[in-house]
Chains A and B, each alone.
Chain A
């Protein structure tokens, strides 16, 4: 079997990181006054050109908040967050900046049902994105034509162009969401649990599609997931988050083959696999450290 060596991949592209996060912190006002919730605490990482970095963690670990801060859906409480040297920590004010940001980082949401406008046709959804980023002079027809090409490249042929999202399956919808992201020709695509809501058979297709996209063009993924098997399949490096903090990081293959940190061990120990038996949480930790 042809295994990909992440070392080679990041090594080959090298260069300066596209995304740099330093001491990132996010505090939400809590349900009770003067009792804030620290969602993200002192998180640092770099995302290099043409690599896939996974952020792994359980619910409430803050992994999605990190991703949302990167694209400006959440403000940054403290710390530095920059894309290609330009800080994003202050948030975005002007429409022109927002559009420029969109050409750098795109986002694919978990739920392909609610992340597409149910009243827009598939072709229109992608064409809207194309028109926003194609620069001046692109006519409506050109945008449509380009949208068709992009849809075709994610495996949705001509017959899907005039369909509405509700006429599509979950996997097809997620392809539309990916096509919309590709329309901006971004350097980074954030995939926020993008395959978590899909059936196993569909999940495999989307994971392959994501690999194909990376084979064809230079793009980095920030892959947010709780699923270690999926992360193992797609990512080169990973960071592990627990309760807002990064507890472990390294090359995905090495980290999963021989986890050292107790939390990573217990996460790995909880994944069902051949010969596995469910164990209680207390024993999971014990088993993991043993």
Chain B
């Protein structure tokens, strides 16, 4: 009995290959977008793990000097006193505009966690590594650095154990490569230390012990970004699942008479459900497999942009090359199967309750859906109320995402009843018989098209919301850059002597020479960079403050006040009027909070005079120059000739701004790509809905044709109806998108990045998006409409023919 029953059930797909294609394609796309995001996230996490494990990573404490490098003498003194410490030198190289970190270590005193590095190189003999003739790098990094023609570079050996964007070598080789002989950036403190050893305060009072994991942990920093990405993946999955839900519902409805017949012929209900379930699982595995392949391709295409984002926003290094990992593949397959079962749950439930003797009613599905519209609307309203309550009372990143989910799902559920009301208004306003039929028919189409239209609403709202957020961010960021980059030129010198030559040269040529420098401090238990700021009107007039105490700039200048950035303000809860102690013996009051977009770290600004008094030995090597705008090119040339500062070390405002904007745009490239993909899936949902409904449409259209409407006019009306429904959906998506943007800017961004942006609106972008939605809907309806216009009368007559 099972084999013929299964044959009968599967025969449906032979008769409806388009429906089968729609089901598989919808599920494959949903799985693909979800898997792509998971693949990207797991690749990034694997990279973070590599970086963390490289030198004992976050498990070991370090010794650092807040005022600059540690001398070799200090290192030797500590070792002789019994301290088991290992020196590390870190510096940067620029390769094609990308920062490559050079990490020099002493392999002989390296903690055991680094032992695996030598074997990871794949070279049996560790001697070349120990004597500095060889450096290790991740395969992608090694390839990029090799082609850059850097002089003094040891031979590069690819190693899977080194984090991307890092060159690992003997500290001696790093000294030479970076031109910083004898310097040590930090000392790694090994886990097992002798019990009896002299206290650190006696041996090296200028050193500070930094606890394990107190630095910038990329996993923590980027958590919000990956959560954002996962949320986008889930949204795409949900949009794809709408297609699956629609096609499964239709296929079940069309097979309702078959199920009854099978039951009447003696197939037990349990067997019927088992067969249907087996069919669904087989389809889910097939579509899931296709989705995984597509997902891998999408992830491979997006990963370089994601890597750029993580580098630009968080300074976290992620390789641009994707590795297949069973974890995300299994999760993707799980989502495909789970999603199919969720989408089919209702149809399975109704099949289980199907009475054997009830008459087949071909329109039962559509009519049932109409009845469900109102209960669906009530559920949508409840979800929107939840979102509203969360926006007032909730806090935290997870709550932010729950708010977004409730907002989007609530709006999607409310769409069909709202559309139904709008169409009813159109119907009342219609004058002629065709207009009246047009709206009445549109009303009847809403149940069949509702899933596709809900998918369109989600995609459009996400586009408006994320687009508004990114565009608001861009406008704010550009304005902020204009204020922050008040100086005309920025110069980096190599040492104090060059700095002196620069000052002498600029005497009388520049209106102001403003040093840019920083020392490490601690605020609210977190390491922060404290920057020195000169008391100059450049800053007083241009530096944007989000909140300030009266006389903030005067108090900054006299050393009684300090400014903190917005990120530190949100993360620590500190505000204007609070006192902090960034260094021992200095407790200034917070007198202002400044925006600091794109910086993942907490940061503070102190008056130059106070900071110099606290740290007199710190070398100042970066300067902002205020010079007349028309003189910048000439001055730049003269400066490099007179002081020996390389031309590359002098940048003007426009170049810094252009580079910042470039980083910004690349940062959000992945968001844009996911936006387009989601919109594409929604357009496909409409196309599939039309294709699957086309067969059901003919009996509805044939009488109207017989009564005197031409096929061409019917086709035009079909397109117009779809465009009208899409237009209503798009207009409704606009407020949902703006609410989404508000939630992203005011709730999620503050939690995720630590800054709050003013929301701005971009009506031209909306018009473009509306145009895109109309076009997508028209294109989706055009195919079936074209077939309708070209359909032979014989096809229409099949509806009426009782003979032949």
Tell me whether A and B are bound partners: no
